[in-house]
Amino acid sequence: MFENISNLSFDFADYISDLSSHPWQIVTFVLDITIVLFLLVYFIKVAKKSRVWQLIKGIVLLIVITFLSNLLELRLLYFILTSFMTYGVIALLIIFQPELRRALEQLGSSTFTKMFGIDKSLRDKTKEDIYKVVIAVEEMAKSKTGALIVFERDIKIQDIIETGIKLDSEISPQVLVNIFVPKTPLHDGAAVISNNKITAAACILPLADDKDIAKELGTRHRAAIGISKESDAIAVVVSEETGKVSIAKDGTLIADVKEDALKRILIKNLVTARFGSEQKSNSIAKMKERMAAKRAKKQENNVIDK
């Protein structure tokens, strides 16, 4: 085994020396190294999330012991270890078949599909997330559950995010509704949505202290106005007293916003303003929008059933 490793290192040295006589091979060499590093990093990232990571540490230890046994001429131990490693690979493939299959599925469904634009576009994902937020907001409005949801835009509000509890969760109506259930650890403060994820909850926002703000406005409304004045973020508020929905943008509060108006305002400011206007005649875009609405409707039914 170690003789093969020595031959491999010798061949690699020849490969490096050939670069001086064939400069154009530098491009392929850089590409080769980049791909190998990418696959290695991806493999480590996936492995850390499963029990395979413990196995990898054991394999590394086994390789070190095998190398030392050969170096110290412990022939019996070396023979046993090399024999195990020869047939152990097949055994490991069988034992960890589910993990390997899941890793390959993730590789095919996320990394390369996104790289080549096969995955759904960020525009469609953002629009779908807006539908999910609207579903959650309407559910909380019906039950008069107080809520404050902030959409980060171009101006980053990392200082605000750091005041809360980091979640880094996918956007779903169920998660948003659960965050604002009264008398739970996360219901006070704001949930911040950034990069198409619920980044944090229970975030503390700056309060607007303008004298011309109506006195009947509660802390959530003042916080929504405050964050919209200090950044370009958009805040959605559900009143705990009335169940009415309001939107704060550019330091202005739009009160009693209905469901359709809420969708239009969010899509205009979070989708159209970022990605440009959409061609109405594009049948593919319409189909994607219908599919997004259908998925959002399905999640709405799940929320209602619960």
Go through the chain and tell me how many residues it has: 306
Measured between alpha carbons, how far is 251 from 222 in angstroms, rounded to an integer?
10
Q: What is the CA radius of gyration of the chain?
A: 28
Domains of the chain listed by start with CATH number: 2-115 (no CATH), 122-305 (3.40.1700.10)
Bridge partners of 246?
A: 237
For the chain, the average pLDDT equals 79
Q: In what order do the strands lie in the sheet with 147-151?
A: 165-170, 197-203, 190-194, 147-151, 234-238, 245-249, 252-254
Give per-residue pLDDT as tens, 101-148: 666 655 555 544 444 444 457 888 899 999 999 999 999 999 999 999
Residue type at position 61: L
Write down the pTM of the prediction.
Answer: 0.58
Alpha-carbon distance values, 90 to 40, 97, 138 (Å): 21, 10, 54
Strand partners, 238: 147, 245
pLDDT digits (tens, 9 = 90+) for 225-254: 999 998 999 999 999 999 999 999 998 999
Cα atoms found within 13 Å of the Cα of residue 306, Cβ hemisphere only: 12
In sequence order, which residues have a C-beta less than 8 Å from that of residue 134 and are 6 or more positions away?
Answer: 259, 262, 263, 266, 296
